Amino acid sequence: MTDLPFVLAGYLTVAGAITAYVVTLRRRRAALRRQQSDIARAIAATPRTPREPVTADGGR
Amino acid sequence: MTKVQAVLAGVSGRVAGVALAAALFAALVLAPVDARQGDVYRLLFVHVPSAWLAYLAFFVTFVGSVAYLLRGNPAADRVAASSAEVGVLFTGLAIATGAIWGRATWGVWWDWDPRLTTTAVLFLVFLAYVLLRAGIAGEARRARVSAALGVVGFANVPIVHFSVLLWRSLHQPPTVIRPGDPTIDHGMLAVLALSVLAFTALYVYLVRERLTLEATAARSHEHLAAIG
């Protein structure tokens, strides 16, 4: 194949760009999922303020 | 993501992978050598599918944008945005592979030819679309502004396609999407069709992945809003 460097450059550019995009998407998704777990853990660890008992008519 | 969605995502990835492997084999081994260009014409099998995906992706963005403007459905906005990002990737690849092919056949990486210039404008408009989305706070405003840009940006697609007929161009005229029979050898056309199908499967997979990311981001925002 006499034009191998050009053909190779074209195919490798396409393969490299697509692979990089897929890896980026997966990393972004993994980062978002980590953020969600952190939020869930933070909510679970937050102590809840005890409320005063309230009757149905709003009296205490 | 439900179990069914996860299975479908896995299937679309595998279908794209197998189709791409078959297309690569056909493009580099089975397709006949071109009488004038030799082997460098094999860039056709990645250049044309990339350009086709740019058209398809921005058409989907156009449809999603119109749907959002008419009905205000956030899902339509997410589809439009996901498709636009994938479209930018493939427009960039069409330009890059075209530049490599141009260097081998025309002797230059770039020329201010109508097809090349209109494609560069298309790339920049949708790159602006992606960057603009990242810079606008407020879901509804971001969706409205990007939908307007999605509709206006798509108007360039027919200009890109017909630029080789509207103006005197160094780029060859359409060989497949044209009135009458395609002006390409049938063996080469079969391999090109396989490559276009494989790239379309890849587009479906990438948009699905991008949509999953959008859904995950939306859930994160809901969580953050819930805790104030």
B215 at A interface, C-beta within 8 A: no
- What tens-digit pLDDT sequence spans chain B (228 residues)? 556 666 666 778 889 999 999 999 999 999 888 888 888 999 999 999 999 999 999 999 999 999 999 999 999 999 999 999 999 999 999 999 999 999 999 999 999 999 999 999 999 999 999 999 988 888 899 999 999 999 999 999 999 988 888 888 778 777 776 777 777 888 899 999 999 999 999 999 999 999 988 888 877 777 777 666
DSSP state of B204: H
| pLDDT, tens digit, 9 for 90 and up, residues B151-205 | 999 999 999 988 888 888 778 777 776 777 777 888 899 999 999 999 999 999 9
- The rounded mean pLDDT for chain B is 89
pLDDT at A57 over 80: no
Q: Is A3 near chain B, with CB under 8 Å?
A: yes
Residues of A in contact with B223 (CB under 8 A): 36, 39-40
Chain B contact for A44, CB < 8 A? Answer: no
Task: Give pLDDT tens digits for A24-48.
Answer: 999 998 998 888 888 888 878 877 7
Quote the CA–CA distance of B146 and B132 in Å, as a whole number. 7
Element containing residue A24 per DSSP (H, E): helix A4-45
DSSP state of B38: B
The contacts of residue B105 (CB under 8 Å, 6+ apart) are B37, B40
Which residue in chain A has the smallest CA separation from B45?
A11
Structure tokens at B78: 């997410």
Distance of CA B134 to the CA centre of its chain: 20
**Does residue A20 belong to the interface with chain B, where contact is any CB pair within 8 Å?**
no
Longest Cα pair distance anywhere in chain A, in angstroms?
91
